[in-house]
Each structure stands twice: as C-alpha cells, then as structure tokens.
Structure 1
C-alpha cells in the first residue's frame, strides 16, 4: 500500500479516483500512456455493471448494442 496520502475527492476527483482504483487492485497503469489494464476483480465489477444496465435498458423495451 502506498504511504502517500490519498488525494481528497472534493479537491482533485480524477487523482482521487485513479488512486482508489490502483490501491484497490482493480487496475494498473499500462505501458500505453493514459491507459490502464483492468485486473480480474475490476473486470468482474465492470461485467456486473454491464449486466445491470443491460437489464434496465431491456426493461424499457429498448435493445442494447455495442
């Protein structure tokens, strides 16, 4: 775990969010600038979000597509 203090959410949301994601082990920096590699647990969360949104979209009678 990083010994650096966590940025505050209210003062620097992007830095706070990125640090929370890294410390939680959901993703890590990529060799491609500005990109992150989503780790397995982070991807599982993403899949759960997709399922929930897809169910909500279909419940309105619409069709989801990518």
Structure 2
C-alpha cells in the first residue's frame, strides 16, 4: 500500500513516525471519502469527531523559539 500511494504521488513521508503528508490528489481522495462518510453518518444519526495529531516532544524542541509562544497551550502525552 505505502509503495503504491508514494509512487502515485498521493502522499509523502513525514518526519513524524507513522504519519504521512497528503499531497493534492491524495487530499482530494480524502475529501471525497469524508463527504461519503459524512452522508452515511448523518443518515444513521452518528456524529463526526476530529482527533488531533501528535508531534513528538523531540521535534517540537528543535523549534523551541517558535514553540515558546504557544507552549503553554500544548497538551503533553506522558504515557502510552
């Protein structure tokens, strides 16, 4: 799967392990999937949710000056 979507230029690898970057065509596919799922959810009285992405502390520390301004608003996952 990953070889195919990479070769088709639908995604790129991210520096965050386990995360991929959706390129324009990949994102268009994702939008169509969301639209279809949203329709089905609403028909069955279900609700959508959005889960935040996680960024390792080590990567945030590389951008310490930039992160400093909003660091108090970050939620840290300390186990898992």
TM-score by length of 2: 0.55
The answer for the alignment partner of 1:22 in structure 2 is 6
CA positional deviation for 1:21: 0.6
Q: How much is the aligned-residue C-alpha RMSD, in angstroms? A: 1.2
Matched, 1:41 2:25: yes
CA positional deviation for 1:64: 1.9
Unpaired runs of 5+ residues, structure 2, are 50-80
TM-score by length of 1: 0.65
- What is the alpha-carbon distance in structure 2 between the residues aligned to residue 48 and residue 54 of structure 1? 10
The answer for the alignment partner of 2:48 in structure 1 is 65
Task: Determine helix, strand or coil for the equivalent of 1:34.
Answer: coil
CA positional deviation for 1:27: 0.2
Unpaired runs of 5+ residues, structure 1, are 1-16
The runs of at least 4 aligned residues of structure 1 exceeding 6 Å deviation read none
Larger Rg belongs to:
2
